């Protein structure tokens, strides 16, 4: 009799969903919310870099655009952050298309450096822009809690559920792209840009699609982060650190894999937050030292990350399993 196949992704997602109801500690729930935000950011980044092979070091720009769009609309015009989230995603997608189109003529590390430079330019614009309070930042007014105002003061569970829904949206969008024609086109572009063009694939259009989808989800998660923290400034939502965290956690888990950002965020976020709790302040950088060491070790041993190691172990176990099956 054939054993039913276990859907690993579904098991992981259901496990994440029930965790905050089993462990009711507020610190744990806080870490879980940050985990979902950064795992979602990793999945969004994976669409342009893991699938299409276009390494972006500037995703903090889209994160900040999402955070600022919703915050400014709420702070100055009392417009619901939900509308701000939609507008932020739309604006990030448009800006990503405008800045990426000329950059797609660059290849490899030149493209990566260009995205990094663009992110820094956008950050400096917001630092100097008086209309959005410049370097001072914006404290989001505390208003009556509720879904419309996107504020919840008595419990972290609503934030967790919103983060979870956004995370699911990114995961299943990435999965749909991966299994669709677009995913095959993006992987063809990643493997050989010239070969993809020779096959008749419009490489520029598909890279633009991937970048716009990636930017829109990144901006949506930026809105969630702003509403959760209730304060933003350019140094908080536009820093290189956010872009690097997204890159590093995805590389550690396994770039180009749906599971990669989930694994990477499950290592980085608890490590970062618990060292901060134990050591106080910023955690004295111990988290980044440990995480950096892990990446060096993993990169030397298996460039495909933790997911690559797991796949290797599974392949090694297959012949034994096959022999046992044959003998039975």
Q: Burial-class residue 221 by CB neighbours within 10 Å (0-12, 13-18, 19+).
A: buried
The token pair that represents 39 in the structure block: 């795992």
For the chain, give the longest Cα–Cα distance: 75
Whether pLDDT at 291 is above 80 = no
Whole-number pLDDT of residue 180: 92
Q: Residue 54 region, left (φ>0) first, then alpha (ψ -120 to 50), else beta?
A: beta
| 22 lies in some domain | yes
Whole-number pLDDT of residue 316: 67
Tell me the average pLDDT across 242-252: 91
Percentage, residues of the chain above pLDDT 90: 68
Whole-number pLDDT of residue 109: 84
Whole-number pLDDT of residue 320: 45
Whether pLDDT at 1 is above 50 = no
Mean pLDDT is lowest, of 80-84, 115-119, 305-309, for 305-309
Q: For residue range 104-153, what is the model confidence (pLDDT) as tens digits? A: 888 778 899 999 999 999 999 999 999 999 999 999 999 999 999 999 99
Whether pLDDT at 273 is above 90 = no
Of 295, 220, 281, 307, nearest in space to 37 by CA: 220
Whole-number pLDDT of residue 67: 97
Mean pLDDT is lowest, of 18-27, 46-55, 289-298, 310-319, for 310-319
Whole-number pLDDT of residue 293: 81
- Count up the domains in the chain and report the number: 1
Domain containing residue 237: CATH number: 1.10.3470
3-class DSSP assignment, residue 156: coil
Whole-number pLDDT of residue 306: 81
Whole-number pLDDT of residue 122: 95
| 225 lies in some domain | yes
| 3 lies in some domain | no
The bridge status of strand 138-139 relative to strand 231-232 is antiparallel
Whole-number pLDDT of residue 4: 53
Find the DSSP H helices in the chain. 8-22, 26-46, 59-77, 81-103, 109-128, 157-179, 181-191, 193-198, 203-229, 234-237, 240-253, 259-279, 286-301, 305-327
DSSP 256: T
Q: For residue range 32-47, what is the model confidence (pLDDT) as tens digits? A: 999 999 999 999 999 9
Whether pLDDT at 242 is above 70 = yes
| 1 lies in some domain | no
Domain that holds residue 225: 8-327
Quick one: pLDDT band at residue 170, thresholds 50, 70, 90? very high
Whole-number pLDDT of residue 328: 41
| 286 lies in some domain | yes
């Amino acid at each position: 009799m054939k054993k039913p196949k276990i859907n690993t992704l579904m098991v992981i997602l259901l496990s994440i969903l029930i965790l905050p109801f089993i462990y009711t500690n507020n610190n744990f729930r806080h870490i879980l919310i940050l985990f979902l935000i950064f795992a979602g950011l990793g999945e969004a980044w994976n669409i342009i870099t893991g699938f299409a092979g276009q390494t972006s070091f500037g995703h903090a720009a889209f994160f900040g655009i999402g955070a600022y769009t919703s915050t400014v609309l709420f702070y100055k015009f009392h417009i619901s952050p939900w509308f701000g989230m939609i507008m932020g995603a739309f604006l990030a997608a448009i800006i990503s298309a405008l800045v990426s189109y000329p950059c797609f003529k660059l290849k490899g590390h030149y493209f990566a450096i260009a995205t990094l430079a663009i992110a820094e330019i956008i950050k400096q614009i917001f630092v100097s822009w008086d209309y959005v309070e410049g370097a001072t930042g914006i404290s989001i007014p505390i208003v009556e809690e509720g879904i419309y105002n996107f504020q919840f003061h008595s419990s972290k569970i609503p934030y967790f559920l919103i983060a979870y829904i956004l995370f699911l949206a990114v995961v299943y969008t990435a999965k749909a792209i991966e299994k669709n024609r677009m995913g095959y086109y993006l992987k063809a572009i990643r493997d050989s840009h010239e070969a993809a063009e020779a096959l008749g694939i419009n490489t520029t259009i598909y890279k633009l699609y991937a970048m716009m989808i990636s930017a829109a989800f990144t901006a949506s998660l930026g809105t969630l982060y702003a509403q959760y923290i209730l304060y933003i400034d350019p140094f908080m939502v536009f820093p290189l650190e956010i872009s690097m965290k997204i890159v590093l956690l995805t590389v550690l888990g396994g770039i180009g894999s749906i599971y990669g950002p989930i694994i990477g965020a499950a290592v980085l976020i608890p490590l970062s937050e618990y060292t901060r709790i134990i050591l106080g302040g910023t955690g004295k950088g111990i988290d980044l030292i440990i995480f950096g060491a892990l990446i060096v070790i993993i990169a030397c041993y298996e460039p495909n990350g933790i997911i690559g190691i797991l796949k290797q172990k599974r392949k090694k176990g297959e012949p034994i399993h096959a022999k046992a099956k044959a003998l039975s």
